[in-house]
Structure 1
Amino acid sequence: MSDHASGADQKAENDLVLSFLAVRRALGLLGYVLPAVLILYGLFDRQWALASISAYFYSPLRELFVGILCAQAVFLWNYEGYKPDAGEILSDKMVSRAASLGALIVAFAPMAPSAKTAPPGGEAVAPVFEPTLLQTFFDPVWVGRLHFLGALLFFGALATYCLVNFRRGGLDDPLKCAANRIYGLCGWVILACILAIAALSLFGFSESAARFRAVFWLEVVACVAFATSWAVKGQALQPLVRQVAAQSA
């Protein structure tokens, strides 16, 4: 009887681990897919890239943009992670739900339409689509500011995962140490991209950034870093982890 119960408990634990891995891999995949699809669309549409990933809300890829963000939000909201140890403030659940909320804000509170939403060489245009519910009831400029705060929350929470949550425990395992190095790199890359985007705006380089699509490419790099960290956590990039471990030996 006890053996049967033990076997059932082990199966439940295995199923839970597989569920964790599936969610992590799904988040990693979605993080890679969004920028890849936007870049491919730009190549085939001969406009290369818009000024930012958020500007694609005003493109034919609007549904894809919103859909992927909503999918990420659902996965993040339902990701329980590990229970926090005594004294740990930033639990996996807390950080993932903060990221989920940020993703939903980015999806449903779009940036204000401006010249930045036009293709390279294009004119400032009004949205191609009907305004959203928030844009109907509130000034689109204020909705755009909410969008910026949502993006900051989203990427900030993802950077926190890389720099804090993912790096907990297992320091005696060479593969875990190697994974931690990757998480750290991804986290700092995300933070660097956030700071660079903020600096471009604060120091008056918005027009130049829009011309060279600097914000778009910084966001792409941040998305790839986020996707890589979750793919590593989901054990989808084990060859990379083993290579880093071998180099550290």
Structure 2
Amino acid sequence: MSQQDSLVHSYLFLRRAIGLVGVGLPVVLVFGVLVTDGVFLDSISGYYHSPMRDVFIGAMCAVGAFLLSYRGYDLLDNLTATAAGIAAVGVALFPTTPPDTHTPVEGVVGVVHLVFAAVFFLALAYFCLVLFTKSDQTRPTTRKVQRNRVYVVCGWVILACLALIVVVNLLPHTELHLALWLESAAILAFGFAWLTKGEAILGDVS
């Protein structure tokens, strides 16, 4: 295997690793607390304040580390990955405001958490809609065209979920846990996009 082939395989592995963490995170968090406490929480970030706290922090820091080490095709690609990586670590280190009583400091930390979360998801949507759909080929392969469709769908799912989360937070609280399911859908879309980018889904035929 040449050095170039080894580099390509390393990047494919990195992309798949990011995707696997994204796909697995909401499943592990939700079912982990459901099994231990028998409840659903109001948001993915809320699992910081649960027995699954270490899983949440570890997964977000892992995603952040992967993104910070990611190198794309150009400077914009790299800057977007860096911004998303910093935001992912920020989401883990600055927890969402506790659901019950909280101090003013915890309230401020919660606002910082929301900012990092917004940057993280917006960067991921930008990856899907703009960066992942690029090609250095004049005539992309059939699989590349198919992958681009997956990226676009995932990107719009992320943006739609973000918009709906804002709407849900303006509504009276319900027991439907709508924000949880919307956040889960956005994270799953992020995971599937990166698995596709790593060619674990719709990979080019050798």
TM-score tier after normalising by the smaller chain length: over 0.9
Match of 1:162 in 2: 128
Query: Do the aligned partners of 1:70 and 1:107 also contact (CA within 8 Å) in 2?
Result: yes
Q: Report the TM-score when normalising by structure 1.
A: 0.77
Which residue number in structure 2 is paired with residue 98 of structure 1?
83
User: How do 1:111-130 residues align onto structure 2 when only pairs under 5 Å count?
Assistant: 111-114=96-99, 124=100
**Distance in 2 between residues matched to 1:92 and 1:172, nearest whole Å:** 20
Contact 2:146 2:202 in 1 (8 A): no
Bigger RCO of structures 1 and 2 (CA < 8 A, at least 6 apart): 2
Task: Confirm or deny: 8 A CA contact 1:102 1:154 kept in the other structure.
Answer: yes
Q: What is the RMSD of the two structures over their aligned residues, measured on CA atoms?
A: 1.9
| Alignment partner of 1:80 is 2:71 | yes
Partner of 1:98, secondary structure, is helix
Could you tell me how far 1:186 is from its partner in structure 2? Answer: 0.1
Deviations 1:13-48 (Å, cap 9, x if unpaired)?
Answer: 111101110110000000011111012213313524
Cα 1:166–1:59 change in 2 (3 A) is: same
- Give the gaps of 5 or more residues in structure 2: none
Name the counterpart of 2:148: 180
**1:205 Cα deviation (Å)?**
0.8
Equivalent residue letter for 2:58? G
> What is the match of residue 16 of structure 1?
7
- The equivalent of 2:194 in structure 1 is 230
Specify the code of the residue in structure 1 equivalent to 2:177: R
TM-score normalized with structure 2 length: 0.92
Other-structure match for 1:141: 107
The whole-number CA distance in structure 1 between the counterparts of 2:192 and 2:39 is 24
Equivalent residues, number: 203
Structure of greater Rg: 1
For 2:34 and 2:111, the matched residues in 1 are separated by: 30
CA contact (8 A) 2:61 2:89 kept: yes
Q: Deviations over 1:104-160 (max 9, x none)?
A: 11101111112xxxxxxxxx366xxxxxxxx8xx71111100000000000100000
SS at match of 1:191: helix
State the AA in 1 paired with 2:189: A
Q: 1:38 touches 1:49 (CA, 8 Å); kept in 2?
A: no
